[in-house]
């Protein structure tokens, strides 16, 4: 007997609980999938986590898992469990927009490696989640298809760029989701929605089939409501991929055992001095400090560590990212994918390209293409792009000397909690500051995650703690995360998300059952 039965609200169960119940026959994958589709029908009008849902395809995939079980096949650890996929990774036959008009109508003929591995493991893909256009942003407001709303407070942002993947979890529309993290797009949404988000070591998960933003920074990763669920998904999607030349040829660290153990006794944890203080919301700092005390109480050794060059990580990132993005986005020219504007016989090819890019890209994307093109132009390359790359080396060295002293580093995941929709859209610099804590790990390529550590007293909104580990030591993230989860849930009397307000949703025809 598993702990989940068909009379339970299946959308509240953990992925590991659902997998066990499906494997033991206590519930079918079809029932589990249908419960999530019903939940979507009820809450999507308010949350808008998804850009595309294919219920029939999901139910057909679920039925296949049920049949395999009935035929006596051994199921994988997440077989039959629904998952939501950020709409920047391809899933053959389903639209991929990357949140942009320029890709509207494009249906990729192939699966991303992350997608393929989930399908091979029997996971059931529910649909594609909303994101800031080409993953540029911290609020999902840059999506060409309208913003996603934070289930904790529908007037607030769910983070970005992967706000859809995080909101789908927090609104109980999916027990698992996939995000991508270039500067914080998994960890910041996790932080502001009270969920778990992991950016694996660069090269630890494949970028094949990911619409590239900045190729030297992008990394797909698991998002979930529990630490163990994230680890189980990490194990499914991780590992070497010959189709990605930057894929690490190394085994996936044993993240599942680490998540089950949660033993931090003797672990040396460094608190990054530079990631705190002025500009950080008091309630965020308070919950962060309390969580560090919890880890100390569990037997971890806490020391303060200085990473002086982290102060320059944000400006360096905002030169490196636009430079790479300006190059990666050159292929959206109206000739190869999606939108084509002005092809009426009166314009030559170059004009059509210009008209398509003018119509198809939003303001933030244009801003970054212009910035990146400038930073890479001859005469300015050394002063901007070259200089930023030197800073990147200094940030990496800070990590190296920190990891010579400690096993992991910790900081708040974000300087503040979820802000109001509209509050920062006209102020790019204020928006960029959301990534202050997360960007250093992307520049250095090490593993990093955000775990929920409570609600800020001043606004009652979720706070995340970031754990950073050396490259290919992703298992350490899960050890710390599991230790925190166990201790804090005991204190809270259950998961943090149980404290989220019930979503008040407008009645929809054919909605909830
Ligand atoms: N918010 C960051 C940015 O706008 C992070 C993006 C990301 O991780 N995809 O660049």
pLDDT at 511: 42
Higher pLDDT, 5 or 108: 108
Instruction: Decide the pairing of beta strands 124-129 and 268-272.
Output: unpaired
Q: Given ligand 1 and candidates 100, 130, 132, 314, which is best to mutate, with the most ligand atoms within 8 Å of its CB?
A: 132
* Stated pTM of the model: 0.97
* Residues in CB range of 71: below 8 A, 6 or more apart: none
430 has pLDDT over 90: no
Average pLDDT over residues 439-453: 98
What is the pLDDT confidence band of residue 505, given thresholds at 50, 70 and 90? low
468 has pLDDT over 50: yes
What spacing in Å lies between the alpha carbon of 50 and ligand 1's midpoint?
A: 19
Average pLDDT over residues 141-153: 98
* Ligand 1 nearest-atom number relative to CA 217: 8
Pocket of ligand 1 contains residue 205 by CB under 6 Å: no
pLDDT at 513: 36
In a 13 Å sphere around the CA of 106, the CA atoms on its Cβ side amount to: 26
Q: Given ligand 1 and candidates 182, 219, 416, which is best to mutate, with the most ligand atoms within 8 Å of its CB?
A: 182
What spacing in Å lies between the alpha carbon of 57 and ligand 1's midpoint?
A: 31
Helix, coil or strand: residue 165:
helix
Residue having the nearest C-alpha atom to atom 5 of ligand 1: 183
Residue having the nearest C-alpha atom to atom 10 of ligand 1: 136
pLDDT at 338: 87
Pocket of ligand 1 contains residue 137 by CB under 6 Å: yes
Task: List active site positions.
Answer: 86, 161, 185
What spacing in Å lies between the alpha carbon of 443 and ligand 1's midpoint?
A: 12
- Give per-residue pLDDT as tens, 387-409: 999 999 999 999 999 999 999 99
Pocket of ligand 1 contains residue 438 by CB under 6 Å: no
Instruction: Decide the pairing of beta strands 82-86 and 176-180.
Output: parallel
* Ligand 1 nearest-atom number relative to CA 317: 10
Average pLDDT over residues 409-438: 94
What is the pLDDT confidence band of residue 6, given thresholds at 50, 70 and 90? confident
DSSP secondary structure of 232-281: HHHHHHBS--TT-TT---SPPP-HHHHHHH---TT-EEEEETTSSSTTS-
- Quick one: what percent of the chain has pLDDT higher than 70? 98
pLDDT at 53: 98
- Quick one: what percent of the chain has pLDDT higher than 90? 92
What spacing in Å lies between the alpha carbon of 372 and ligand 1's midpoint?
A: 15
CA–CA distance from 316 to each of 69, 267, 433 (Å)?
A: 51, 31, 13
């Amino acid at each position: 007997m598993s702990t989940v039965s068909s009379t339970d609200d299946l959308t509240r169960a953990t992925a590991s609980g659902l997998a066990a119940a499906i494997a033991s026959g206590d519930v079918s994958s079809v029932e589990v999938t249908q419960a999530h589709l019903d939940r979507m029908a009820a809450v999507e009008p308010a949350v808008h986590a998804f850009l595309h849902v294919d219920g029939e395809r999901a139910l057909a995939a679920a039925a296949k898992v049920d049949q395999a079980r009935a035929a006596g096949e051994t199921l994988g650890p997440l077989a039959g469990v629904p998952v939501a996929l950020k709409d920047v990774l391809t899933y053959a036959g389903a639209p991929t927009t990357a949140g942009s008009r320029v890709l509207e109508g494009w249906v990729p003929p192939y699966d991303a490696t992350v997608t393929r591995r989930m399908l091979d493991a029997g996971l059931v893909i529910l649909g594609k989640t909303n994101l800031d256009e080409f993953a540029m942003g911290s609020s999902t407001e840059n999506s060409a298809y309208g913003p996603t709303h934070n289930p904790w407070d529908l007037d607030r942002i769910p983070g970005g760029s992967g706000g859809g993947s995080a909101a789908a979890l927090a609104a109980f529309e999916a027990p698992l989701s996939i995000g991508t993290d270039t500067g914080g797009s998994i960890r910041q949404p996790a932080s502001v929605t009270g969920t778990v988000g992991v950016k694996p070591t660069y090269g630890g998960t494949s970028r094949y089939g990911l619409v590239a933003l900045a190729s030297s920074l992008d990394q797909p990763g698991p998002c979930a409501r529990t630490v163990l669920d994230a680890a189980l998904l990490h194990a499914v999607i991780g590992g070497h991929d010959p189709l990605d030349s930057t894929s690490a040829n190394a085994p996936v660290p044993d993240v599942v055992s680490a998540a089950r153990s949660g033993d931090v006794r003797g672990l040396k944890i460094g608190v990054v001095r530079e990631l705190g203080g002025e500009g950080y919301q008091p309630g965020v700092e308070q919950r962060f400090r309390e969580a560090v005390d919890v880890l100390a109480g569990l037997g971890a050794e806490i020391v303060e560590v200085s990473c002086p060059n982290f102060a320059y990580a944000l400006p360096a990132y905002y030169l490196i990212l636009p430079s790479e993005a300006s190059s990666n986005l050159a292929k959206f020219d109206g000739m190869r994918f999606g939108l084509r504007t002005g092809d009426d016989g009166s314009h030559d090819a170059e004009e059509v390209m210009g008209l398509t890019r003018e119509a198809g890209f939003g303001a933030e994307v244009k801003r970054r293409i212009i910035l990146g093109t400038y930073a890479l132009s001859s005469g300015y390359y050394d002063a901007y792009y070259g200089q930023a790359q030197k800073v990147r080396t200094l940030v990496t060295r800070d990590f190296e000397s920190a990891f010579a002293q400690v096993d992991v580093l910790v900081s708040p995941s974000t300087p503040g909690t979820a802000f109001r929709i509209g509050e920062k859209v006209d102020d790019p610099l204020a928006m960029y500051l959301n990534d202050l804590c997360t960007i250093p790990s992307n520049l250095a390529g090490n593993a990093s995650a955000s775990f929920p550590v409570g609600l800020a007293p001043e606004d009652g909104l979720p706070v995340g703690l970031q754990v950073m580990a050396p490259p290919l030591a992703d298992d350490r993230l899960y050890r710390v995360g599991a230790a925190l989860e166990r201790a804090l849930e005991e204190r809270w009397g259950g998961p943090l998300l149980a404290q989220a307000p019930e979503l008040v949703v407008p009645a929809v025809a054919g909605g909830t059952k």
